[in-house]
Amino acid sequence: MYLTLFIVFAGLCLAGAVNLLLQRHPINSALSLIVVMTSLAVLYLLLGAEFLAAAQVIVYAGAIMVLFTFVVMLLNAGREERTLGSRAAKAVGFPAVVVMLALIATVIVKATGLHAATLSDGITSTVDLSRVLFRELLLPFEVTSVLVLVAILGAVALARSTEGERTGGK
């Protein structure tokens, strides 16, 4: 049961990620990334992180990727063209990526003491999560909120059009 679930959703994940690379049109890439993210949410659930699974769907698939598709639709970005730069990137990039993957994979395969995951493993409850988050890690949490505020201001300042400034803006 666990194995089937893992294989199905890991397969979906990989297929989505490969499709992201193969597709020429940004909106198809965005959709395959959404597939990756939602199947990752299921994998989180298999690892017992239920709150993160929900947050993954709500934040990543439901908010961040909506922004991406929104921008793709707004700018009506067409298919990408292949240029000299892309061929060079392929020639150098692919071997480099393969070497990197081989390195990481050997480290993981050689690692000892890794446990196994089963369906009967305990689930981290939201209560435990929030207890650590709001007691031990309160300061980082607050700092992140400042970061988000700064990001909002930055996004508004950047996206504000010059015409908007001329007419007084909003």
Please pick, from the candidates 138, 142, 154, 169, the single residue that binds other proteins as defined by CB under 8 A: 154
Quote the radius of gyration of the chain (alpha carbons, Å).
21
CA distances from 44 to 8, 79, 108 (A): 14, 33, 19
User: Is position 138 an interface residue for other proteins (rule: CB under 8 A)?
Assistant: no
Answer whether 118's CB lies under 8 Å from 43's CB: no
Q: Which of residues 62-121 bind other proteins (CB under 8 A)?
A: 62-64, 66-75, 77, 80-86, 89-90, 92-94, 96-98, 100-101, 104-105, 108-109, 111, 114-118, 121
Nearer to other proteins, 14 or 169 (CB): 14
Find the shortest distance in angstroms from Cβ 168 to other proteins.
14
Answer whether 19's CB lies under 8 Å from 28's CB: yes
Q: Which of residues 3-42 bind other proteins (CB under 8 A)?
A: 3, 6, 10, 13-14, 17-18, 20-21, 26-27, 29-31, 33-34, 36-38, 40
User: Is position 2 an interface residue for other proteins (rule: CB under 8 A)?
Assistant: yes
User: Is position 159 an interface residue for other proteins (rule: CB under 8 A)?
Assistant: yes
Please pick, from the candidates 8, 142, 155, 169, the single residue that binds other proteins as defined by CB under 8 A: 155
Helical (H) or strand (E) element with 96: helix 84-110
Helical (H) or strand (E) element with 15: helix 2-22
